[in-house]
Structure 1
Amino acid sequence: MNGREVVSAVLEGEFVNDQPSRRSWGQRLVDWWQRSPRVPGVLKSRRLVVQAVKDLVVAVLRSPFRFVGAVVRGLVVAARWWRSWVRVADYRAAAEQSEKLADKFTDIRALALFRWKVTGAVVVLAAVVVAVLDLVYGHRVLWITGGLVAVALAVLGRRKDGSPGRKPVLAGPRTLTWTMDPQVLVDAFRDAKLIGKDESLRLVERATRQGDGWAVTVDLPATRKAADVVKNREALASALAVDEVQLIVERVRGNGGHAGRVALWVADEDPYGSPPLRTPLLTVERWDAWRPVPFGRDARQRRVDLPLVWTSLLVGAIPRQGKTFAARLAAAGLILDPHTRLYVADFKAGKDWYAAAQVAHRFMAGDEPAHVLTLVDWLVELVAEVQGRYRRMQDLDDEVCPESKITPTMSRDPNLDMPVTAIFIDEVQIPLEDRTPLEVQDKKLTAGEYVGELLTWLARKGPAAGIVLVLATQRPDSKTIPSNLRAVLGSRFALRVMDWRDSNIVLGEQMNTRGYDSSRLLATHKGVGILRPDGETTAGADVLATTVRTYYMPNEDWRAICARGRALREAEGTLSGHAAGQDNRPMLDHAAVAKALGTVAERTTEVEVPEPLASVVDYLGDDLQPGGRDFVPTAELVAALDVEPTAFGLRMGEFGCRPTRDRITTDDGVRQVRGYLVADIRAALTAVREGAIVDGEVVEDDH
């Protein structure tokens, strides 16, 4: 064809240039600007540059007012100094201290008259000089003289710590002036005793608007810890003249932080006062259980997601604070994944969980002993299921099962039959307190004890096999939730509770000393709680806990999500158990489960520690262990436990803890105070657990 060859196919290709591209001088300048240590950090970010320009404009606009204020303060300081000088205050004070004022009175009076004459002479001489210069050079002399005097007074009246007469005795109302004047923030830290009088802060980032509040990042002085600022958030809020719910204090961690870097955010108003937001799950067609579930928003309106797979969740609160709503939010994400299997036990026996019956593999609602026994059967079934999954994992190759953990692919493979399985128990204190007698492998125990052992085993070994445990209770006390069960529950969410002890039971030991105490939440803040996640959240992997306002999901939204979850399961063919009308009794192997739990062996009964020793032990926490504190002041215990001092001392004496005196270091120096040796408290706890002391009485051995 005209001497040309026709190419039958055109292959795709890419032009490769072996010569490295030369960077323009502009790109090199930008790289140098970003990396150079000589360029201030404020000039390396567009946001910080904009904020710096705003700060400069504000400073320029405020400078006339600040100058006038400094001149007035300087005039006051100068007047006070002159008055002290003309009255010979130093000479008079020395005479009074030496008790010779009467003898020196004549000399003091003569010196005072002389200084009055010097003052008059200086004033007259200055007036004459200014008048002569004004006649010679004109009125500009008056302007120059007035300007120089004003500058001198402004320098004399500049704000400086320790200078007398520069702070009014009765100040006006405190406001968020620190957003304009960082010195106010420094004063607030000093007032809260977070830094010393001679120490200051270093601004990492100036105060900027973020959302409906102001954010600032500061570095504390050397040896000062950000953890102490978090712990004393209430004192800092008082110094800043805001409610503590408006103040968010976080330690900056990771590559951009250190132990002394603090990020502050102060809301303009109560961040939880606005109406709650609906859950975003209403707008999604389906959800992936392996993704964290949308749980709520923090005070800065940042979304907080809750991971559920490979962990467990404990929700604790007093009644009518949003406990069930929080548990249902966790369930909603799993309901919208058709490859999950749900067990729902509602011991409240209300309508809150009724809609979940159309998607649950196992479902019941009731608070009778028969329902507790049904729960026992479910838990036995799940323990056997976990054991079976681990056995099947041993036969899988490393590509399918790289570790002894369930994977997303494994959970969706119908041939493996290992779906993510979640069990939700509302009002878990009811089955845990049930006293129905049981006999397991010739061992007698109550149903509540058996439920506690089964839940503990599932919380310890179930997550890696795809078992998610979600427990909700309105009685988060040490008698209801066994300590060995609480120790293995990964994520914690504490809404408002009665006191710091209940808060620590939900969140963990000594969390109140770290600044996290859900008993301080307001009663009007429904659905607001402290979340301590097990794993990384949107707030960051290094965040210990955060205050969250859960999304709002009323019953109509809950029913809509459950109906959508049922439709997804019907389409995927994963509807089973109760929801499919196949509510068969589980196949139980009590012998294998008893062997796994160790109930065949001798069981040790945990002795209940009486008050106030139990509260003291809870308060000390890890400090009770060897290597912790050696001495704890009585005043500290009385204030922390909110007890009457005399009765507290008598009760502690019954346990063999006698008060003694020791020296402690405070902000005012070393002081000698009364208190208790931690070794004595540790010995009393051991004696109680060994049965040597019962409710404050020593039990003598007859042998």
Structure 2
Amino acid sequence: MTDTPTETNGHRPNPAPDLITAIPEQGGPVDNGPRAKGADGAEVVSLDTARERRHPYPPTPAPASNGPVLEGEVIRVDAPGEADRDWRAELEEKNRTRRPVVPLWLRSRREAIETLTWAGEYGAYVAGYQLSRTPLYAGRLTARAPRGLARLISGMVRWTLDLEGEPVRLTAVQKADPEAYLKLSRQRDSRVRLRVWVTGAALVTLLIAAILVAAAPTVAQWSALAVALAVLGVIGRPADRPLINRAVLPTRVEKLTSDIVVRALTVIGVSGLNAKADVNFVAPITREGPGWRADLDLPYGVTVADILDKRPRLASGLRRPLGCIWPEGDPSVHEGRLILWVGDRDLSKTMVRFALADAARHDVFKGIPFGADPRGRIITVPLIQHNILMGSQPGQGKTGAVRALACGVSLDPTAEMWLHELKGTGDLDPLEKISHRFVSGIQDPAIAYAAESLSLLCKEVMRRAAALKSLPADLCPDKRITRQIADIRSLGLHPLIAIFDECQNLFAHAEYGEQAGRDAEFIIKLGRALGVVLILATQRPDKRSLPTGVSANVSLRFCLRVGGQTENDMILGTSSYQNGIRATTFVPEADAGIGYLVGATPVPKVVKAAYLNTPATQTIADRAHALRTGAGTLSGHAIGEQPEATTPAYDLLADIAAVLVAGEAKVWNEVVVDRLAELRPDVYGPWAEQEGPAKTAQLTNALKPYGIKSGQVWGTPAGGGKGANRIGIVRDDILNAITERDGKQGSGTSS
């Protein structure tokens, strides 16, 4: 028997690829007689001989049962039969994919309470809806009772007289079949004799019941009448009109089938996916949460990243809103394993409730319930030993995500929180009352305060490292902060979470940005094992606003809608866009709060952050303040302590007034900067080193917090020359600002 060669990967194989000729022990080709020589002396052989000499397949020893391999004997390369099976590995793989015995919602006490509460509220609503319509249902039953009585009498007569068999007996008469007719007649007579007695007994029973009811009290009579009308009304109901209205009308969505999935996949335009593509479903399509789940293997060479890139087209192929379609991969199996989840509801139109909204307290070592995935499952973000980076375009829900984390931290009385809201809109103001350090603003003093916080955190990291090193091995075997260590307040190793919202305003600052970037990188690299956590949020993820050392070393990332590949990879990590993790596919504003979460779960997940408005945040902050007051853990800004000044003390307004020459009503900014640099080189020297507009902008920005605006003023160069209009300040504005400030300070002191 000869095996027929087949083509593999588009190449024609050697003849009989699974057969070879045994080679003698000395090696070399079999001698086929005299060999021809070419003009250059080279040996000339046939194509078959050349192929034999290439030996594309190594000699395979024959089975021992067949004896030694003889020269010229043909043996098989591919072993016959099935490959040896590793039953243990197969069982372990099956165990990994087994469905849980206990439903997911029963594994968590909180989720079980929420589910049972929802079921109770739903049942109460349905019961109230139906009870309010009891008069309507009673009227319907009464109206249908006569028809029910007629149906009951007609049915009893037909059953008693066996009228349902009348058509069969008439057929026997028409066929003139006396034997069949007599047989049917005898059967009818026997049935009717029995049924007459049954019907008579039923009528007598009803008559006795009527006599008893007539002698009973009035309440019993009305109750019996109501029951009779209800029974007759049910019997007389029309087939197309139900008695009871539905309290809740479910939204009908098309059932997901394999044909629908294959149709959608073959029209999205992915190379290798067409009508003839081999799409293999590895599990039945089932309901999972509020949607359908399909597990399938894509054709060879097609990856899940190719599908993620075509999500809008896939939504069109499935005829569902984009917010219902959430494909994801399972790289633990292989890159072609696709898990397609199709929801009943658009995720962008759902609101995720904060899981700790009603919690009395929380432990940050257990993570923060951050939001929910498209299937409605709560996603918890681990906090300790991690640092978090968030990014998005403006208005995509980034600050709301920060609120969820901050509120979760606030409910742990042992966690110290430093809040820096560098936008100045007051989004985190409700949490000021529990913060050890707090600032809200975009002006230079606020930026300086945030930069100072990073400097203090660097010192705190070094102090904690020394404190942790001195702990005994039995208390700290892994040299990292634990719940047990954090509860020992005397050690000062409790969790310290520092939040910097709109951190691009800090890292891009001309004066403080460079050093702040170095400090943040130092804290991220060393602080995670010491209980120091940084949460950074930015709406401008670029190299200047987000130092590479910071973006490259954070372990948890959350990226909402961004505009391009560069911003996507700055937040989610290098090559994320190429691997199909693309926050650019989210719809602006409509998908606010939805982003890719990387690092919190084994594979990147789409998560919608929990929503907290200002009143809800205030409620949690009040509860956290009472909790910390009782535990005695309020400190720093929360109890009115002022931080020690770590920078040279100076008064900008007083310094400007000192360098203004008597009689100068208006002065160019560049002149003022040069004079300030001469007055205090250590403070204003960097300002004077700037060139062009940047030099004047330093003074302009520094005066904004005082309400002083720079404008075009007339002046002449110091060495003489032609006058001109340039950016400058007015002397009276400086003096008025000093007077107003001193007046407020004097008033505050006297009070």
TM-score by length of 1: 0.54
Cα offsets for 1:550-603 (capped at 9, x unmatched): 1111111111111111111111111111112223327799xxxxxxxxxxxxxx
Alignment-derived partner of residue 569 in structure 1:
628
Cα offsets for 1:91-126 (capped at 9, x unmatched): xxxxxxxxxxxxxxxxxxxxxxxxxxxxxxxxxxxx
Cα offsets for 1:148-192 (capped at 9, x unmatched): xxxxxxxxxxxxxxxxxxxxxxxxxxx997834x24433433333
Alignment-derived partner of residue 467 in structure 1:
532
Alignment-derived partner of residue 259 in structure 1:
335
Cα offsets for 1:33-53 (capped at 9, x unmatched): x9999xx99xx9899xxxxxx
Q: 2:246 matched to 1:185? A: no
Q: 2:583 matched to 1:507? A: no
Question: Which structure would you say has the larger RCO, counting Cα contacts within 8 Å and 6 or more residues apart?
Answer: 1
Counterparts of 2:559 and 2:90, CA distance in 1: 47
- In the alignment, which of 366, 383, 396 is matched to residue 291 of structure 1? 366
Counterparts of 1:287 and 1:177, CA distance in 2: 41
Letter in 2 for 1:213: G
Alignment-derived partner of residue 382 in structure 1:
457
Alignment-derived partner of residue 279 in structure 2:
201
Secondary structure of 1:206's counterpart equals coil
Alignment-derived partner of residue 5 in structure 1:
none
Q: 2:458 matched to 1:410? A: no
Counterparts of 1:524 and 1:385, CA distance in 2: 40
Contact 1:495-1:528 within 8 A present in 2 as well: yes
Cα offsets for 1:636-695 (capped at 9, x unmatched): xxxxxxxxxxxxxxxxxxxxxxxxxxxxxxxxxxxxxxxxxxxxxxxxxxxxxxxxxxxx
Letter in 2 for 1:271: L
Aligned 1:491-502 pairs, distance under 5 A: 491-502=556-567
Contact 1:339-1:574 within 8 A present in 2 as well: yes
- In the alignment, which of 554, 566, 576 is matched to residue 613 of structure 2? 554
1:267 Cα offset (Å): 2.0
Q: 2:368 matched to 1:309? A: no
Distance 1:561 1:509, change over 3 A: same
- In the alignment, which of 203, 214, 218 is matched to residue 296 of structure 2? 218
Alignment-derived partner of residue 441 in structure 2:
366
Counterparts of 1:244 and 1:362, CA distance in 2: 42
Aligned 1:298-337 pairs, distance under 5 A: 298-337=373-412
> What is the RMSD of the two structures over their aligned residues, measured on CA atoms?
2.9
Q: How many residues align?
A: 405
1:245 Cα offset (Å): 3.0
In structure 1, runs of 5+ residues without a counterpart are 1-33, 48-174, 437-446, 590-703
Letter in 1 for 2:514: E
Contact 1:304-1:548 within 8 A present in 2 as well: yes
Counterparts of 1:349 and 1:260, CA distance in 2: 47
Distance 1:433 1:252, change over 3 A: closer
Aligned 1:235-634 pairs, distance under 5 A: 235-254=313-332, 257-274=333-350, 276-436=351-511, 447-536=512-601, 541=602, 543=603, 545-585=604-644
Secondary structure of 1:547's counterpart equals strand
Distance 1:533 1:413, change over 3 A: farther
Contact 1:296-1:303 within 8 A present in 2 as well: yes
Alignment-derived partner of residue 115 in structure 1:
none
Distance 1:564 1:586, change over 3 A: farther
Contact 2:572-2:598 within 8 A present in 1 as well: no
Secondary structure of 1:284's counterpart equals coil
Counterparts of 1:365 and 1:414, CA distance in 2: 29
Contact 2:361-2:412 within 8 A present in 1 as well: yes
Letter in 1 for 2:396: Q
1:302 Cα offset (Å): 1.6
Aligned 1:87-102 pairs, distance under 5 A: none
Contact 1:186-1:200 within 8 A present in 2 as well: no
1:319 Cα offset (Å): 1.9
Letter in 2 for 1:179: L
TM-score by length of 2: 0.51
In structure 2, runs of 5+ residues without a counterpart are 1-87, 102-251, 649-751
Counterparts of 1:46 and 1:338, CA distance in 2: 35
Distance 1:228 1:499, change over 3 A: closer
Contact 2:253-2:344 within 8 A present in 1 as well: no
Letter in 1 for 2:267: D
Counterparts of 1:322 and 1:453, CA distance in 2: 28
Distance 1:458 1:45, change over 3 A: closer
Alignment-derived partner of residue 598 in structure 1:
none
Alignment-derived partner of residue 628 in structure 1:
none
1:370 Cα offset (Å): 2.1
1:473 Cα offset (Å): 1.5
Contact 1:349-1:365 within 8 A present in 2 as well: yes
1:387 Cα offset (Å): 0.7
Counterparts of 1:393 and 1:477, CA distance in 2: 36
Letter in 2 for 1:578: H
Cα offsets for 1:256-275 (capped at 9, x unmatched): x333322111123422223x
Counterparts of 2:319 and 2:498, CA distance in 1: 45
Counterparts of 1:323 and 1:306, CA distance in 2: 15
Secondary structure of 2:349's counterpart equals coil
Letter in 2 for 1:189: L
Counterparts of 2:308 and 2:594, CA distance in 1: 17
Which stretch has the larger CA shift, 427-436 or 220-229? 220-229
1:233 Cα offset (Å): 3.4
Contact 2:398-2:593 within 8 A present in 1 as well: no
Counterparts of 1:469 and 1:328, CA distance in 2: 14
Distance 1:177 1:334, change over 3 A: closer
Counterparts of 2:414 and 2:261, CA distance in 1: 53
Secondary structure of 1:514's counterpart equals coil
Letter in 2 for 1:488: N
Distance 1:219 1:176, change over 3 A: farther
Contact 1:516-1:530 within 8 A present in 2 as well: no
Counterparts of 1:486 and 1:500, CA distance in 2: 15
Distance 1:456 1:46, change over 3 A: closer
Secondary structure of 2:467's counterpart equals helix
1:279 Cα offset (Å): 1.1
Aligned 1:55-66 pairs, distance under 5 A: none
Distance 1:362 1:45, change over 3 A: closer
Counterparts of 2:353 and 2:325, CA distance in 1: 25
Aligned 1:117-156 pairs, distance under 5 A: none
Counterparts of 2:335 and 2:549, CA distance in 1: 32
Distance 1:236 1:433, change over 3 A: same
Secondary structure of 1:493's counterpart equals strand
1:448 Cα offset (Å): 0.9
Distance 1:547 1:514, change over 3 A: same
Cα offsets for 1:381-435 (capped at 9, x unmatched): 1111111111112211222111221111111211211110011111111111222
Alignment-derived partner of residue 29 in structure 1:
none
Distance 1:586 1:531, change over 3 A: farther
Which stretch has the larger CA shift, 511-520 or 374-383? 511-520
